[in-house]
Amino acid sequence: MPGHDHSHDHSELSETELRVRALETLLTEKGYIDPPALDELIETYETKIGPRNGARVVARAWADPAYRGRLLADATAAIAEFGFTGRQGEHMVAVENSPHIHNMVVCTLCSCYPWTVLGLPPVWYKSPPYRSRAVRDPRGVLAEFGVELPKDTQIKVWDSTAEVRYLVIPMRPEGTEGWSEDKLADLVCRDSMIGTALALLPSNRKGAA
Amino acid sequence: MSTSDLLAASPAIPKDGGGPVFAEPWQARVFAMTLAAHEAGLFTWSEWAETLGAELATDPAGTAGYYDHWLAAFERLLGAKDIASEDTLKGLRAAWDSAAKATPTGEPIVLARR
């Protein structure tokens, strides 16, 4: 509290922390939530679910035409082949980039995002400027992310909802013929699966000479 | 307005490389509570997205943090569903405040109930 004379011999919780603790106490006492289960949920989203999941999906789509076909036909099922199922991944749609079309994903309402394959969204994805400008001026937004597309490439912007989540399949970089899925996955950065970046070039791969 | 005018008038998009998922522990807590409450059947995910969207829409400039809005939306939705009244929450906040103040620095704060 501003102006409050903090004593150092006792604890102090911020207004925000008080609000959060009040909610947790109430929901726990009513039996709706179980604090240890919350710890587990947090650990999962902090350490276990992230864009490495999506990168494996994209790498397989690049390497295996039959998988690519399944992913485009029914992304939820194809992603589930990896065991990536559950919250906010119930209805997935995969959209594929080509020299003619570049796909980009936004949630103009709030921050709907494909958690099962990408984890939780980055700060910029949740920010008002991105949410409002992605639809209005996608080329300008891409430029801010350092992505310049050929003039005749059409940009398609997909607005996520609580029901439908999108995964962008970026274009496979040249010079990666015969690469293993693991090696390919290293090129698939998070932003390339949201559409605000391209896949990395082989020369930019981690550990590349 | 030309595109460049629009761009000039547009706030920049904040960038975060591979930053932490949650900036502070309370953010993780309220996030997990929201998921758990949804999974306990207290509201549908569409109801949640609408409430959060409406809350975020009150702050187009993004002056407050994303999870501040998340927390406000969660309180509002639980209030609308008659699960958590403002009075009950106020009482609990006061109880936590007293508990904190009665706890020596560095020790876990425990709320004695009933």
Each residue's pLDDT tens digit, A44-89: 988 888 999 999 999 999 999 999 999 999 999 999 999 999 888 8
On whether A112 is known to bind a ligand per the annotation, the reply is yes
- The reply to whether residue B36 touches residue A10, judged by beta carbons under 8 angstroms, is no
Each residue's pLDDT tens digit, A111-156: 999 999 999 999 899 999 999 999 999 999 999 999 999 999 999 9
- The reply to whether residue B32 touches residue A30, judged by beta carbons under 8 angstroms, is no
On whether A189 is known to bind a ligand per the annotation, the reply is no
Residues 179-198 of A with CB under 8 A from B: 190
Report d(CA A57, CA A169) in Å as an integer.
Answer: 9
Question: Nearest residue of B to residue A19 by CA position?
Answer: B93
The amino acid occupying position A54 is G
Please determine, looking at this structure, whether the domain spanning A50-204 carries the CATH number 3.40.1190.20. Answer: no
B chain contacts of residue A8, beta-carbon cutoff 8 Å:
105
Average pLDDT score, chain A = 92
**Beta-carbon contacts of residue B11 (< 8 Å; ≥ 6 apart):** A128, A129, B61, B62
A67 vs A77, A167, B72, B105, CA distance in Å?
A: 11, 15, 42, 56
Residues 99-138 of A with CB under 8 A from B: 109-112, 119-120, 122-124, 126-130, 132-133, 136-137
Q: Is A110 left (phi over 0), alpha (psi -120 to 50) or beta?
A: alpha
Residue B114 lies in a domain: no
Low-confidence ranges of chain B (pLDDT < 70): 1-12, 15-19, 114
Residue B16, pLDDT score: 60
Each residue's pLDDT tens digit, B37-55: 999 999 999 999 999 999 9
Per DSSP, the residues of B22-44 read -SSHHHHHHHHHHHHHHHTTSS-
Domain that holds residue B78: 20-101
The tokens for A103 are: 């796909």
Residue A208, pLDDT score: 58
What are the φ/ψ torsions at residue A63 (nearest 5 degrees)?
-85, -25
Could you give the ipTM of this predicted complex? 0.85
- For residue A111, indicate whether it is catalytic: yes
Each residue's pLDDT tens digit, A100-117: 999 999 999 989 999 999
A chain contacts of residue B48, beta-carbon cutoff 8 Å:
162
- For residue A192, indicate whether it is catalytic: no
Cα A206 to chain center, whole Å? 20
The amino acid occupying position A141 is V
Residue B65 lies in a domain: yes
Residue B9, pLDDT score: 47
The amino acid occupying position A11 is S
Residue B68 lies in a domain: yes
Q: Structurally, how many domains does chain B consist of?
A: 1
- For residue A132, indicate whether it is catalytic: no
Each residue's pLDDT tens digit, A171-201: 999 999 999 999 999 999 999 999 999 999 9
Residue B15, pLDDT score: 66
Task: Please tell me which of the candidates A42, A88, A137 has its beta carbon nearest to residue B7.
Answer: A137
Residue B111 lies in a domain: no
Report d(CA A70, CA A79) in Å as an integer.
Answer: 9
